[in-house]
Every structure is written in C-alpha cells, then in structure tokens.
Amino acid sequence: MYGNDFGPSANEGEDVRPIDDAAAQVRFDALLADDERIEPRDWMPAGYRKTLIRQIAQHAHSEIIGMQPEGNWITRAPSLRRKAILLAKVQDEAGHGLYLYSAAETLGAERDELTEMLITGRQRYSSIFNYPAVTWADVGAIGWLVDGAAIVNQVPICRCSYGPYARAMIRICKEESFHQRQGFELLLTLSRGTDHQRTMLQDAVDRWWWPSLMMFGPPDDASPNTAQSMAWGIKRHTNDELRQRFVDMTVPQADVLGVSLPDPDLELVDDHWRHGPIDWDEFNAVLRGEGACNRQRIEHRTTAHTDGAWVRDAAAAYAEKHQRAAA
C-alpha cells in the first residue's frame, strides 16, 4: 500500500552514478517532458534513483508489514467465507511486496539489503500499521479506509515516470480496489447485523478514520520533497489534493454504512467535504516510534526473517549443489 514518501532513510549518502553526462540529462528531461517512461537501462540522475529506491522500498515494506494486523485475524475469522477472503487478501499483500521489491531491484537495490534496512529501522513503512487491529470490524475498516486511501495514493503512480514502478502499480491497484470493496461489504454486513455488531462497526470507524487521513502524509506546506517528486513525475498530486479526493469519496460511503465519522467539523463546501484539523502531533509521535505496535511489527518481521535464515540457506546450498552436479 501507500506509495507515499515517508521521509529520508537514515543512511542516504552514496550516489549511484555521477551526473556529468549532459547529453544524458537532456534526454532524461525530454523523456519526462514527453511523459514517456524511464526504463532501468536509461540514464537517470542519482537523486531520482535514490528517491525512487526509497519510495518503492517503503512501499514494499508497507505491504509486508501490513500483512500483520489483518493476518492476525485469519485464524479467528467468524465464518469460513470471511476466512477465505481474508487469507486471499493477505496473500495478495505479500504478492504486492514481491512486485515492489522486484521493481526496486531494477534500480540496483537488492531485497535482502532492503529487508535489512527495514528491520534495523533505517527505512520506514506506512505508520498506519502501527495501530492495532483489535476487533473483527477492524478488518473491514482496514479494507475500506486503509486500502481505500492506498488506492487514491496509488492510482496516480500507475502513471509514474519510472516504468517498472508504474507497471507494478497497475497490477496492484486492481487488487487493492477489490480489497476496498470487500472491506466495505464486510462492514455493510455488520451494519445490518446485531446491536453488538453495529457498535463494533462504529468503534472501528472511530479509531481508523483519522489515521487513514494521515496516510497521505503531512500537509503541503510541510512536505518539502513534493515539488521535486512532482517535477520528476514520481508524484502527480500533492498530499492535500489526494487527501481531499479520499474524503470526498469516503464520506458518502459512510452514509451507506450508517456510521458517523468522528469529525464534528466535517462539512460540504463547494462540492467538497472539508475535514477538521488533523492531529499532526499524533502522526509525528507514531513516526517517532510511539505508536501502539511499532516495536511489535518490526520484531515480528525480524523473527520471521531470522527464524527463516536456515531455510533460505538450505535452499541456496541445495541449488548450488545441484547446479554443480548438472554442469
């Protein structure tokens, strides 16, 4: 999910290639100007490459970390149909992570390196996953709001100037919109259910609404990197534009669900639903590691990675042995 830039990685020092090839720069600029795609073999400025690696890696990490809050509910899904849907969804997210790590590889960043950056806290993932999924309704709220926000963020990336990222995103967006509809349908079923189910639904929406608005990142006047990313054709719209699009899309859906959104200031002005002030202190606190699950999410990922090392080693050793035998 997400396709946003969550800020610099901790160790961005080294430039990948020198930028003194003036002719190459001219060609690169011309490709951008014509809205053509940059491909892995093309020359690109070191800053462009670095920004893309960071953004794609953070996007991939978000897909993978995002498996946890919902994965947590697979064994407890209240019906077998819901279990199958959820299992398939979490599987999709693993697939999204795989496509994105492959896209990052075309820029020279290996999956192993990026995983290391994630588990040592040097690269970020979307903060939304530092909130806990505490009830079954959260599974629906995540699908509806979090996948919903992800789609709004990601649809423009289907036109990203970097070809492999744009193509990965086309595939991913199709699946995300499926997830969003399934999440909505889960909630709709709760809305028609027992009092207890409706309470569970409202409670989940109350908890996930504001964090999902925060997924679009800081307001435009506090997003210093946006202008450069837009000039490079990596980003197509500002954070606030995308957030507005999401709110406009979601408010009428809340109506269908019969839930209230926890924002007393929400009002329709000139055909747009204007939301009240976002608590950026909370956003920054979660970013600093003060969310409910920051530590748990990374520990979980680290444990899976570390516990699996012997298995990956075995696969590599076996492949090598049998390649040699075949040669």
Q: Is 82 in the site for other proteins (CB under 8 A)?
A: yes
Comparison of 54 and 96: residue with beta carbon closer to Fe ion: 96
Q: Is 278 in the site for other proteins (CB under 8 A)?
A: no
Comparison of 220 and 320: residue with beta carbon closer to other proteins: 320
Q: Is 70 in the site for Fe ion (CB under 5 A)?
A: no
Residue 207 interaction partner, one of other proteins, Fe ion, none, beta carbon < 5-8 Å per kind: none
Q: Is 79 in the site for other proteins (CB under 8 A)?
A: yes
**Cα gap 73→126, rounded to integer Å:** 20
Residue 300 interaction partner, one of other proteins, Fe ion, none, beta carbon < 5-8 Å per kind: other proteins
Comparison of 47 and 95: residue with beta carbon closer to Fe ion: 95
Q: Is 260 in the site for other proteins (CB under 8 A)?
A: no
Comparison of 107 and 172: residue with beta carbon closer to Fe ion: 172
Q: Is 136 in the site for other proteins (CB under 8 A)?
A: yes
Mapping DSSP onto H, E and C, the string for the chain reads: CCCCCCCCCCCCCCCCCCCCCHHHHHHHHHHHHCCCCECCCCCCCHHHHHHHHHHHHHHHHHHHHCHHHHHCCHHHCCCHHHHHHHHHHHHHHHHHHHHHHHHHHCCCCCHHHHHHHHHCCCCCCCHHHHCCCCCHHHHHHHHHHHHHHHHHHHHHHHHCCEHHHHHHHHHHHHHHHHHHHHHHHHHHHHHCCCHHHHHHHHHHHHHHHHHHHHCCCCCHHHCCCHHHHHHCCCCCCCHHHHHHHHHHHHHHHHHHHCCCCCCCCCEEECCEEECCCCCHHHHHHHHHHHCCCHHHHHHHHHHHHHHCHHHHHHHHHHHHHHHHHHC
Residue 59 interaction partner, one of other proteins, Fe ion, none, beta carbon < 5-8 Å per kind: none
Q: Which of 101, 125, 162, 273 binds other proteins (CB under 8 A)?
A: 101
Answer for the pair 57, 111: CB distance below 8 angstroms, yes or no. Answer: no
Residue 98 interaction partner, one of Fe ion, other proteins, none, beta carbon < 5-8 Å per kind: other proteins
Comparison of 95 and 262: residue with beta carbon closer to other proteins: 95
Answer for the pair 90, 70: CB distance below 8 angstroms, yes or no. Answer: yes
CB of 305 to other proteins, least distance (A): 8
Residue 272 interaction partner, one of other proteins, Fe ion, none, beta carbon < 5-8 Å per kind: none
Q: Is 61 in the site for Fe ion (CB under 5 A)?
A: no
The single-letter code of the amino acid at 62 is: S
Q: Is 88 in the site for other proteins (CB under 8 A)?
A: yes
Q: Going by C-beta distance under 8 Å and a sequence separation of 6 or more, which residues neighbour residue 122? A: 9, 10, 11
Q: Name beta bridge partners: 39.
A: none
Structure-block tokens of residue 82: 């819901």
Q: Which of 33, 34, 41, 75 binds other proteins (CB under 8 A)?
A: 75
**Cα gap 46→31, rounded to integer Å:** 16
Residue 179 interaction partner, one of other proteins, Fe ion, none, beta carbon < 5-8 Å per kind: Fe ion
Q: Which of residues 84-123 bind Fe ion (CB under 5 A)?
A: 93, 96
Q: Is 323 in the site for other proteins (CB under 8 A)?
A: no
Alpha carbon 122 to its chain's center: 17
Site string for other proteins, 182-221 (x = CB under 8 A): ----x--x--xxx-xx------------------------
Q: Is 326 in the site for other proteins (CB under 8 A)?
A: no
- Footprint on this chain of Fe ion (rule: CB under 5 A): 1, 63, 93, 96, 147, 176, 179
- Footprint on this chain of other proteins (rule: CB under 8 A): 64, 67-68, 71, 74-84, 87-88, 90-91, 94-95, 97-98, 101, 136, 186, 189, 192-194, 196-197, 300, 303-304, 307-319, 321
